[in-house]
Amino acid sequence: QVQVVESGGGVVQPGGSLRVSCAASGFSFNTHGIHWVRQAPGKGLEWVAFTRYDGTDEHYADSVKGRFTISRDKSQDTLCLQMNSLRAEDTAVYYCAKDERGTVAGWGQGTLVTVSS
Amino acid sequence: DVVMTQSPLSLPVTLGQPASISCRSSQSLVHSDGKIHLSWFQQRPGQSPRRLIYKVSNRDSGVPDRFSGSGSGTDFTLKISRVEAEDVGVYYCMQGTHWPWTFGQGTKVEIK
C-alpha cells in the first residue's frame, strides 16, 4: 500500500527557515516523483512543488519560487522541502504525495508549519 | 496559470439523492501525451485528501461506484448518484496538465 509520512513541522518566526521531510513506504523515491501540497487553516488546497524521481525536473509555485527547495536525503530515502524566508502566509499543513504522471496519490497526514512571532 | 473554477461552492443534499459538482478550466487540459489530467479529491472533515477519480473518469480502487467523473476539454463533472452520510466533506478538482498544477476552490457537500 502506497503511503507517505510527513514530519518536521513546527513554529518558526517570520524570515526564518524550516525543513519538512517526506518518507515513503510501498514505493521508492528512486522511481517516483513527489509533490508538495499545502492547506492554510480553513482554506483550500494549494500545489507547491514537484520533483521528478531522478531530480532532473523540478517545478515550484510562484508563491514559493526562490524561497523553497526540494532536496533528497539518499541515506534515509526521504525527500525534504527546505523553506527559507518564511512568511505568515506560508502557515499551513504541508502534505507530500506520490506523483503518478498528471495526478497525485497516497497523501500523508500532513505536517503543520506555523509562521508567527 | 490555469484557473480551475468549481461550482457550486456549497452543496446541501438530501440523503439518497444525486449530487453534481462542476469544474471548469481556463484552458484545455489535453496534455501533449493526448491524455486529460483532471483528478477529483475528497477531503472528509479532519482528514487528509483522498483521490477519487483520475484522468477524468477513472475511479480509484475502493471508491464506491456511486462516484463518477466525466467531461472533456475544459468542462468536467463529478457526480454522486445517491449521497450517503459518509460523503460529507469538501471536493476538489485538480489539473496536472500544465505547470503549475492547480486546484479548484473546493465544493463543500453537506446533508440537508
pLDDT at A28: 86
Taking the CA of residue A102 and the nearest CA in chain B, the distance in Å comes to: 4
Task: Choose among A61, A104, A110: nearest Cβ to B100.
Answer: A61
Q: How many A-B residue pairs are in contact by the CB < 8 A criterion?
A: 63
| B26 Cβ contact list (under 8 Å, min separation 6) | B2, B3, B4, B5, B74
In whole angstroms, give the CA distance from residue A82 to residue A49: 11
- Residues on chain B touching A108 (C-beta within 8 angstroms): 48
Please check whether residue A48 is in contact with residue A37, taking contact to mean a CB–CB distance below 8 angstroms: yes
CA of A1, closest CA in chain B: separation in Å?
12
Q: How deeply is A104 buried, as exposed, middle or buried, from its count of CB atoms within 10 A (0-12, 13-18, 19+)? A: buried
Q: What is the pLDDT of residues B87-99, one digit of tens each?
A: 999 999 999 999 9
Interval B14-30 mean pLDDT: 98
B108: cell is: 463543500
pLDDT at A76 over 90: no
Q: List, in order, residues 6 or more apart from B111 with CB less than 8 Å away.
A: B12, B13, B14, B15, B83, B85, B88
Cα–Cα distance for residue pair B56/B68, rounded to 1 Å: 9
Asked if A36 and A26 count as a contact pair (C-beta separation under 8 A), the reply is no
| B2, B62 Cβ separation under 8 angstroms | no
Tallying the residues shown for chain B, one arrives at 112
pLDDT tens digits along B80-89: 999 999 999 9
The Cα of B39 is separated from the nearest Cα of chain A by a number of Å equal to 7
B31-64 pLDDT tens trace:
999 999 999 999 999 999 999 999 999 999 999 9
Q: Residues near A24 by Cβ (< 8 Å), separated by ≥ 6? A: A2, A3, A4, A32, A34, A77, A78, A79, A98
Residue A98 cell numbers, joined:
506520490
Query: Do residues B20 and B78 lie in contact, with contact meaning Cβ atoms separated by under 8 Å?
Result: yes
- Determine the residue of chain A that is closest to B102 in CA distance: A47
